[in-house]
Amino acid sequence: MDTIAQAAAIQYGLECKSSLRLMWEGSRARSDETVADLGIEEDDTIYTSIEQVGGKPVIYLSPPSSGPSVDATVQLSLSSSWSLSAIFPIPPGSTRVDSSYGQKTSWIVRANPNGTLYDKATETEVSYLYWEATTDPPRPLSPPMSPRSSPSLVEFDPSRASLSAANSVLLPADKIPGYLDRALSALALHTEARTSFITYWLPSLLKHEHVALRFVPQPEYEQAASLVVTPAPDVVTRVFMVFRGVDVDQLCNWEPAAERAGENVTFWKDVVGINADAAQDTSLFRVLEWGGMEVLTS
């Protein structure tokens, strides 16, 4: 299977074959397995998909600045579209199988007014809680079994994350840092969060001459990554960016996105669903999360 993965990676134009998932009869084939091991015969079909990575979502907890510390439980539950590939602090009892910690994790922390967190299980002081996930093979697309009587919530599916000229902005690489700083500020990210966001994603963004990006509406993102904090915060702000490179010969298809990049970045507040005033009110118990994903295409 390793040879097949290498050939498929070349076909996709990928530098690393580990970015591919090979599927046989509904299960992921390991690189150390052979065609004979799996019972694959001539004319059988092996399905491939490019593994996407949800990069460095981090969670900040900020109690009221003038109040006491807050003891809190943070629970994260992912949809079936992706699985946890890294977490920190690592809760005791967590087991990593085939590069995955599963789809659920939780932390018990003491959140301090100065912004630091004390993870009780590991006795570790951190600035934020960290997780990363890789996508699982996409589920089959199927229509609803019967017509819906009312509009349903659009689901963000990490395994099929996408952008279009209708929901994104298109920027040349040298304009991205400034644009992101303005957009993230409008989305209520504080200075450290904006700096960490931009510096984490900048190397991936600068691999492309032009980049299309969008921020996912919070209700859609919540369907893919449910976050429950107890006691309940006064405000939760979750900012997740999806982006992809756009080739020069495809720029003509992205003209609406290029025009949208010239608009005031505050429109993203309505798209994501941000209450910026509450998110920046230091008298409230606030939770902030940021993360992102590059959509890798063949």
Buried b (16+ CB within 10 A) or exposed e, 182-207: ebbbbbbbbeebbebbbeebeeebee
- Residue 229, pLDDT score: 99
Q: Give the span between the Cα atoms of 271 and 280, in whole angstroms.
A: 18
Q: Taking the model in full, what pTM does it have?
A: 0.80
Identity of the residue numbered 110: R
- Residue 160, pLDDT score: 86
- Residue 47, pLDDT score: 47
- Residue 34, pLDDT score: 74
How many C-beta neighbours within 10 Å does residue 263 have? 10
Q: Is 29 left (phi over 0), alpha (psi -120 to 50) or beta?
A: beta
How do the domains of the chain map onto residue ranges? 2-50, 53-137+160-294
- Which tokens belong to 258? 């290029």
- Residue 98, pLDDT score: 81
Dihedral Cα 117, 118, 124, 125, nearest 10 deg: 40
- Residue 38, pLDDT score: 63
- The CATH class given to the 2-50 domain equals alpha beta
Nearest partner of 196 among 105, 266, 265, 127, judged by Cα: 127
- Residue 84, pLDDT score: 95
Q: Tens place of pLDDT for every residue, the chain, 298 residues?
A: 466 556 544 444 444 444 445 554 544 555 566 767 667 666 556 545 444 455 679 999 999 999 999 999 999 999 999 999 999 999 999 998 888 899 999 999 999 999 999 999 999 999 999 999 998 765 443 333 344 444 445 578 998 888 999 999 999 999 999 999 999 999 999 999 999 999 999 999 999 999 999 999 999 999 999 999 999 999 999 999 999 999 999 999 999 999 999 999 999 999 999 999 999 999 999 999 999 999 987 5
- Residue 14, pLDDT score: 43
- Residue 46, pLDDT score: 56
